[in-house]
Amino acid sequence: MTPELMAEPIRISSRFRSAIEARILELERNAARDERLLATLTNPDHRRRHLLLVEKQLDKAFRLREMLAAVCARAEAGRARAA
């Protein structure tokens, strides 16, 4: 058995889950707003850095969504094994 399978499943409280979901929505909203602001930037370097900001915001939101999906899957698998 791999160390991951032997480890206790990760469980998070619904309050923590809600906080993470709120952060994901905030990141996605900010990325959308920043993407709209790109049209107002004339300096190529400012545009490049702003695009990087949008990419990072969306990447972080994606990684948080992946983490939540993994936590749910592990928690459900842990309950199924315990039953």
CB atoms < 10 A from the CB of 49, how many? 11
Q: For 13, phi and psi rounded to 5 degrees?
A: -75, 160
**Mean confidence (pLDDT) of the chain:** 84
* pLDDT interval class at 1 (50, 70, 90): very low
**What is the C-alpha to C-alpha distance for residues 27 and 14, in angstroms, rounded to an integer?**
20
Give the pTM: 0.75
Give start and end residues of each alpha helix (H) in 38-83.
Answer: 44-82
Cβ(46)–Cβ(34) under 8 Å?
Answer: no
pLDDT digits (tens, 9 = 90+) for 11-41: 788 889 999 999 999 999 999 999 999 999 9
Place of tokens 């309050």: 15
- Domains of the chain by residue range: 3-82
Q: What does the pLDDT average to over 50-76?
A: 87
